Amino acid sequence: MPSHVAVIMDGNRRWARMRGLPVGSGYEAGARAFRSIVELCCNWGIRVLTVFAFSSDNWFRPKVETDFLMGLFERGLRDELQHLTSAGVRISIIGDVSRLLKPLQVLLADAMETTINNSRLHLIIAVNYSGQNDIVQACQKLAIKVKDGLIEPEEINEFLVERELETNCTDFPHPDLLIRTSGEIRISNFLLWQLAYTELYFAHSLWPDFGEDEFREAVYSFQRRQRRYGGQKS
Amino acid sequence: MEKQSSNRATQLIEGLGSSLRRCICSVLSVGPVPKHIAFIMDGNRRYAKKQNLEAGAGHRFGFLALMNILKYCYELGVKYVTIYAFSIDNFKRRPEEVQSTMQLIQEKIEGLIEKESIINRYGVRVHFCGNLKLLSEPVKLAAEKAMNATACNSKAVLSICIAYTSTDEIVHAVEEACKEKRDEFRALDKSGAGYGLSGLGENATDRNSPLIDTADVEKHMYMAVAPDPDIIIRTSGETRLSNFLLWQSSSSLLYSPRVLWPDIGFWHLVRAVLDFQRNFAYMEKKRKES
A147 touching B (Cβ < 8 Å): yes
Query: What's the whole-number mean pLDDT along residues B173-195?
Result: 80
Shortest alpha-carbon distance between residue A232 and chain B (Å):
6
Size of interface A-B (CB pairs under 8 A): 141
How distant is the Cα of B144 from the closest Cα of chain A, in angstroms?
Answer: 24
The one-letter code for the residue type at A144 is I
A residues 164..203 contacting B (CB < 8 A): 185-189, 192-193, 195-202
pLDDT digits (tens, 9 = 90+) for B36-86: 999 999 999 999 999 998 877 899 999 999 999 999 999 999 999 999 999
* pLDDT per residue as tens digits for the range B215-271: 988 999 999 999 999 999 999 999 999 999 999 998 899 999 999 999 999 999 999
The mean pLDDT value for B166-177 works out to 93
Nearest by CB to B210, which of A140, A193, A200? Answer: A140
* Residue B198, pLDDT score: 41
pLDDT category at B202 given cuts 50, 70, 90 is: very low
Closest residue by Cα to residue B245 from B226, B272, B271, B260 = B226
pLDDT value for B112:
85
Look at residues A198, A204, A158 and name the one whose alpha carbon lies nearest to residue A174.
A198
Provide the pLDDT confidence category of residue B205 given band limits of 50, 70 and 90: very low
Q: Is 0.90 topped by the overall pTM? A: no
CB contact under 8 A, A60 and B290: yes
Q: CA of B36 to nearest chain A CA: how many angstroms apart? A: 15
Cβ of residue A225 closer than 8 Å to a chain B Cβ: yes
Residues 111-170 of B with CB under 8 A from A: 165-168, 170
Judged by DSSP in three states, B158 sits in strand
Distance CA B171, CA A157 (A): 6
Is a pLDDT exceeding 80 seen at residue B4? no
Nearest by Cα to B279 from B73, B31, B23: B31
User: Is the separation of the CB atoms in A135 and B170 below 8 Å?
Assistant: yes
Q: Would you state the pLDDT for residue A79?
A: 87
- Is A220 in the B-facing interface, judged by CB distances under 8 Å? no
Poorest-pLDDT segment among A9-18, A214-223, B53-62, B164-173: B53-62
Distance from CA of A200 to the nearest CA of B (A): 5
| Helices within B77-196 (DSSP H only) | 95-112, 118-121, 137-149, 166-190
Q: Is the pLDDT of residue B34 over 70?
A: yes
Q: Check A10, A171, A176, A209 and give the catalytic one.
A: A10
Specify the pLDDT at position B199: 39
For residue B32, pLDDT beyond 90: yes
CA distances to A32, B41, B132 from B135, in Å: 52, 20, 5
Mean pLDDT score of chain A: 91
Q: How does pLDDT run across A108-132, given as a tens digit for each residue?
A: 999 999 999 999 999 999 999 999 9
User: Does the pLDDT value for residue A65 go beyond 80?
Assistant: yes
Q: d(Cα A136, Cα A130) in Å, to the nearest integer? A: 10
Confidence of residue B2 (pLDDT cuts 50, 70, 90): low
Q: What pLDDT is stored for residue A22 in this prediction?
A: 92
B203 pLDDT above the threshold of 50: no
* pLDDT of B200 strictly over 60: no
Respond yes or no: is residue A67 known to be catalytic: no
The one-letter amino acid at B113 = I
**Using the beta-carbon criterion (under 8 Å), do B177 and A188 form an inter-chain contact?**
no
Domains of chain B are: 33-164+228-289 (3.40.1180.10), 166-190+209-221 (no CATH)
Detail the DSSP E strand segments found in chain B: 36-40, 80-87, 124-129, 156-164, 231-234, 253-255
Put simply, whether A126 touches B (Cβ < 8 Å) is no
Question: How far apart are the C-alpha atoms of A13 and A28, rounded to whole Å?
Answer: 10
pLDDT digits (tens, 9 = 90+) for A82-106: 888 889 999 999 999 888 889 899 9
Comparing C-alpha atoms, which of B140, B145, B159 is closest to residue B84?
B159
B76-92 burial by CB neighbour count: b if 16+ within 10 A, else e? bebbbbbbbbbbbbbee
Chain A residues within an 8 Å CB radius of B93: 230-232
Quick one: pLDDT at residue B258?
Answer: 94
Contact across the interface for B178 and A143, Cβ inside 8 Å: yes
Per-residue buried b or exposed e for B33-54, using 16+ beta carbons within 10 Å of the residue's own CB: bbebbbbbbbbbbbbbeeeeee
Residues in chain A: 234
pLDDT of residue A205: 94
pLDDT score at B252: 92
**Would you place residue A153 in the very low, low, confident or very high pLDDT band (cuts 50, 70, 90)?**
confident
What are the φ/ψ torsions at residue B103 (nearest 5 degrees)? Answer: -65, -45
User: Mean pLDDT, chain B, as a whole number?
Assistant: 87
Is residue B245 within 8 A of residue B40, CB to CB? The reply is no
The closest CB to that of A200, out of B211, B213, B254, belongs to B254
| A140 at B interface, C-beta within 8 A | yes
Collect all residues of chain A within an 8 Å Cβ-Cβ radius of residue B179: 153
pLDDT digit string (tens) for A202-232?
Answer: 999 999 999 999 999 999 999 988 788 887 6
